[in-house]
A and B are shown apart, each in its own frame.
Chain A
Amino acid sequence: DGGITQSPKYLFRKEGQNVTLSCEQNLNHDAMYWYRQDPGQGLRLIYYSQIVNDFQKGDIAEGYSVSREKKESFPLTVTSAQKNPTAFYLCASTWDRGNTEAFFGQGTRLTVV
């Protein structure tokens, strides 16, 4: 079945550590996105990539980094520079530049302990 997979579902991190969240899709989508969701809030865009080896910052990119070495994969690294990293992270993909439906993964809940 085609879809978008995020792993792990739950992740705990100690303060000062970097952590990488995985996002893989087998939909052959060109564009991939990372969003952050805080309790009771909407989705805020962190980074997005419309083609392999290219990505752009979203509204809240500080403290995060990404790579897009393969079309299928768009990992997100939460660095120690992110001051409040505890949140629900969602990865999505679309056929092209976002002018079509975005398919979402099931999310990764990151908790800093």
Chain B
Amino acid sequence: GESVGLHLPTLSVQEGDNSIINCAYSNSASDYFIWYKQESGKGPQFIIDIRSNMDKRQGQRVTVLLNKTVKHLSLQIAATQPGDSAVYFCAENRNQAGTALIFGKGTTLSVSS
């Protein structure tokens, strides 16, 4: 079935390194994508979003890249800090009436000092 998925369930980096978290989606009709960060025992927090008419969007220390040709989404975190340790989810919206955000399984990012 259609789904949003992530390539790796875990990612370990050193403090100060750049992190790249990947996500593949299968529905070419999706036109809105979001990255969320979830800390243990808490609800997901919005990080950054991107619409399908864009290839790249930057925030503070984060960049989201969208490649519609291969249906791939990535989140880049610059100068990763211990506070970035969390589970990261990508989500897509299929821009159809009566739909909701569909989430991938998540990547656990561990940052060591």
* Chain A residues engaging chain B, CB cutoff 8 angstroms: 6, 31, 33, 35, 40-45, 48, 50, 56, 58, 90, 92, 94, 97-107, 109
Residues of B with C-beta under 8 A to A41: 105-106
Contact A97 B89 (CB under 8 A): no
Q: Which residue of A lies closest to B9 (CB)?
A: A40
* Cross-chain contact B95 with A99 (CB below 8 angstroms): yes
Q: Is B34 an interface residue (CB 8 A)?
A: yes
Kindly state the separation between the CA atoms of A51 and B9 in the bound complex, as whole angstroms. 35
Task: Select from chain A the residue with minimum beta-carbon distance to B98.
Answer: A56
Q: Does more than half of chain A's interface fall in helix, strand or loop, or is it mixed?
A: strand
B11 part of interface (Cβ distance < 8 Å): no
> Can you sample 15 A-B contacts with CB below 8 Å?
A6-B43, A41-B106, A42-B104, A42-B106, A48-B100, A97-B97, A97-B99, A98-B32, A98-B93, A98-B100, A99-B93, A102-B46, A103-B46, A104-B43, A106-B42
**Contact at A58–B100, with CB atoms within 8 Å?**
yes
